[in-house]
Amino acid sequence: MLKPRSLRGLILLLVAVPTTLVLVAGSLYDYLAAQRPATEAYDQALFSATLVLSQHMEPADGGARLRLPPAVEAALRTDRVDRVFLGVYTLDGRFVGGDPGLPLSPLSPLSPLSPPAPAPLDAGEPRRAFDAQLGGEPVRVAQARLPSQAGEHLFVVVETLGKRSGMARQLVANALVSNVATIAVITLTVLLAAAVGLRPLVRLREQLMARSYRDLRPLEVSDAPTELAPIVHEINSLLQRLDEATGTQNRFIANAAHQLRTPLAGLKTQIELAREQALPPEASRLLGQAHGATERLARLISQLLALARTEAGPSGDELQPVDLAAVLGAGVQEWVPSALALDVDLGFELAPAVVRGDPILLRELAANLIDNAIRYAGPGSHVTVRSRQSGGMPRLEVEDNGPGIPEAERPHVMERFYRVPGSSASGSGLGLAIVGEIAALHQARVELRDAHAGRGLRVLVTFPASGTGSSSPA
Ligand SMILES: Nc1ncnc2c1ncn2[C@@H]1O[C@H](COP(=O)(O)OP(=O)(O)O)[C@@H](O)[C@H]1O
Ligand SMILES: [Mg+2]
């Protein structure tokens, strides 16, 4: 079974092959059909010549002879292409005048050696034309039985086939040219039609390609042609099911995280209360560890919540103009105390940088980067948080002078639950994954670079130019 890889190829095949066959058959028919009238026209000219011959017969002693004036003979014999032979014979085939040895019947051409043929034409058939051979060359023969001053004779005019085969060649060439042109036009038309017809498919592909994996809105159906509409509908219903499934999953994570929070908060309070009691040192140490564990757990839960919120986050349409400087400024009160607690010098350099975004998610992004910088750079370090326009693009930057992340680890740290082996501070490995998710939602690019000072990490989050940002020197 035919299994074409290209629709265009299939259509072309289905159209071009039958068309070519029809055209070839048609031109063969045309050629054959045109031959008949053309042959008859040429034959008619030869018959006219026999008539001229008959007018130049005169009686001679005991018979007849042909007396052709040189001008008439020249006129009869002269042809641009072919050689012409003229002869007069008796009705039973004996030579009288002109050229001897002309073919008198189609089947057995007379040669000078063969005996005279029987009367080639009977009384019922005054004239005929046929193909024959003369001296090994194919010729056309016209014979007519005509009365003359010297009685009834057989007048024969023979012509070589130059004109006729020339005409045949011309017919074939004409048919070929017009057929090749027709096939070319049909092929081009089919290709054009296929290109135009397949355009909706290309548009559909472009629509799908331009999508982010979060964008599960239905595809545009209105301009899809009838044949494509069911496919678009199916894709849309798949997208809808996917959207519902994702929503359910995110709600589950959010709910679970939320449900875990309350008992955890209770547990933490109880541990804190218990630590206030006078306890043996060993019990006090264990309670301290339990307290640290509840804190890590609370953090993990809040990060899971953040991730679920990001996944359920706004689609491109719901983003609004947000100034990164304002987002960062609003978080200062929250972040500075935790920096102080770890003896980290946390500084802010905030210039206006407006992005299209979600302020809550952007704050979550900054919080994760700042938290990492403070905890991994550690006591005595410097952390600088910046917002600015860089090359027309809004950018958020968090730089520290801590240990940094080795080049080889950088591709991995953005993955969920990945932590650089041997990382000292406690953590879940979710922070940078959340940063990546939120950045993707804003079509922003995250880069991990060396700090300016050479030691430490500099994280750049570059947003697409929003067109509403006021620019300041980069
Ligand atoms: N500012 C930083 N300096 C050094 N290492 C860092 C920094 N930020 C992140 N890392 C490394 O990247 C890993 C992943 O970070 P993250 O996704 O926030 O997870 P977590 O902080 O919970 O370990 C961390 O374990 C740490 O090793
Ligand atoms: Mg972290």
- What is the distance in A from the centroid of ligand 1 to the CA of 449? 13
Is the beta carbon of 352 within 6 A of some atom in ligand 1?
no
Is the beta carbon of 300 within 6 A of some atom in ligand 1?
no
Report the distance separating Cα 450 and Cα 459, nearest Å.
Answer: 8
Share of the chain above pLDDT 90, in %: 51
Is the beta carbon of 302 within 6 A of some atom in ligand 1?
no
Q: pLDDT at residue 318 above 80? A: no
The arrangement of secondary structure in 217-312, i.e. its CATH architecture, is Orthogonal Bundle (1.10)
At residue 249 the predicted structure's pLDDT band, cuts being 50, 70 and 90, is confident
Give per-residue pLDDT as tens, 411-469.
999 999 899 988 876 788 999 999 999 998 899 999 999 999 889 999 999 999 875 44
Q: pLDDT at residue 111 above 70? A: no
pLDDT at 171: 82
pLDDT at 115: 45
- What is the distance in A from the centroid of ligand 1 to the CA of 349? 23
pLDDT at 474: 37
Mean pLDDT of 243-272: 89
**Ligand closest to CA 421:** 1
- What is the distance in A from the centroid of ligand 2 to the CA of 433? 9
Nearest CA owner, ligand 1 atom 7: 372
At residue 348 the predicted structure's pLDDT band, cuts being 50, 70 and 90, is very high
Tokens of 76: 């009869």
At residue 313 the predicted structure's pLDDT band, cuts being 50, 70 and 90, is low
Q: Which residue has the higher pLDDT, 100 or 306?
A: 100
Is the beta carbon of 316 within 6 A of some atom in ligand 1?
no
pLDDT at 109: 45
Q: Which of 272, 376, 384 is nearest to 328 (CA)?
A: 384
Report the distance separating Cα 117 and Cα 224, nearest Å.
Answer: 82
Give per-residue pLDDT as tens, 124-159.
678 999 999 998 899 999 999 999 999 999 999 999
Report the distance separating Cα 472 and Cα 474, nearest Å.
Answer: 6
Nearest CA owner, ligand 1 atom 13: 419
Mean pLDDT of 329-358: 94
Q: pLDDT at residue 472 above 50? A: no
Which span out of 58-62, 105-109, 465-469 was modeled with the highest average pLDDT?
Answer: 58-62
At residue 317 the predicted structure's pLDDT band, cuts being 50, 70 and 90, is low
Q: pLDDT at residue 300 above 70? A: yes
Q: pLDDT at residue 350 above 90? A: yes
At residue 69 the predicted structure's pLDDT band, cuts being 50, 70 and 90, is very high
pLDDT at 156: 95
At residue 307 the predicted structure's pLDDT band, cuts being 50, 70 and 90, is confident
Is the beta carbon of 400 within 6 A of some atom in ligand 1?
yes
Contact 271, 290 (CB under 8 A): yes
The mean predicted confidence, pLDDT, of the chain is 87
Is the beta carbon of 423 within 6 A of some atom in ligand 1?
yes
Contact 68, 155 (CB under 8 A): no
Q: pLDDT at residue 118 above 70? A: no
Give the neighbor-by-neighbor strand order of the sheet with 393-400: 345-350, 382-390, 393-400, 457-462, 445-450
At residue 165 the predicted structure's pLDDT band, cuts being 50, 70 and 90, is confident
Q: Which residue has the higher pLDDT, 60 or 141?
A: 141
Tokens of 233: 């509908």
Q: pLDDT at residue 471 above 70? A: no
At residue 330 the predicted structure's pLDDT band, cuts being 50, 70 and 90, is very high
Total count of residues recorded for the chain: 474
CATH of 7-105+121-168, one of 3.30.450, 3.30.40, 3.30.420, 3.40.50: 3.30.450
Share of the chain above pLDDT 70, in %: 92
At residue 253 the predicted structure's pLDDT band, cuts being 50, 70 and 90, is confident
Give per-residue pLDDT as tens, 360-387.
889 999 999 999 999 999 999 999 999 9
At residue 89 the predicted structure's pLDDT band, cuts being 50, 70 and 90, is very high
Taking CA atoms, 388 is separated from 49, 70, 321, 333, in Å, by 105, 111, 15, 20
Mean pLDDT of 153-180: 88
Taking CA atoms, 94 is separated from 73, 97, 131, 201, 258, in Å, by 21, 10, 21, 83, 126
Nearest CA owner, ligand 1 atom 3: 404
**Ligand closest to CA 398:** 1
Interacting residues of 438 by C-beta distance below 8 A, sequence separation 6+: 310, 313, 361, 362, 364, 365
The β-bridge relationship of strands 382-390 and 345-350 is parallel
Look up residue 9 and give its DSSP letter.
H
At residue 26 the predicted structure's pLDDT band, cuts being 50, 70 and 90, is confident
Q: pLDDT at residue 184 above 80? A: yes
CATH of domain 317-462: 3.30.565.10
Mean pLDDT of 23-45: 85
Domain boundaries, the chain: 7-105+121-168, 217-312, 317-462
Is the beta carbon of 399 within 6 A of some atom in ligand 1?
no
Contact 383, 371 (CB under 8 A): no
- What is the distance in A from the centroid of ligand 1 to the CA of 306? 17
Cβ neighbours of 125 (radius 10 Å): 10
Task: Tell me which of 163-167, 247-251, 422-426, 440-444 is least confident.
Answer: 422-426
Q: Which residue has the higher pLDDT, 408 or 257?
A: 408
In sign, the C-alpha dihedral spanning 133, 135, 139, 144 is: negative
> In a 3-state reduction of DSSP, which class is residue 390?
strand
Cβ neighbours of 46 (radius 10 Å): 21
- What is the distance in A from the centroid of ligand 1 to the CA of 421? 10
For 214, phi and psi rounded to 5 degrees? -85, -20
pLDDT at 448: 97
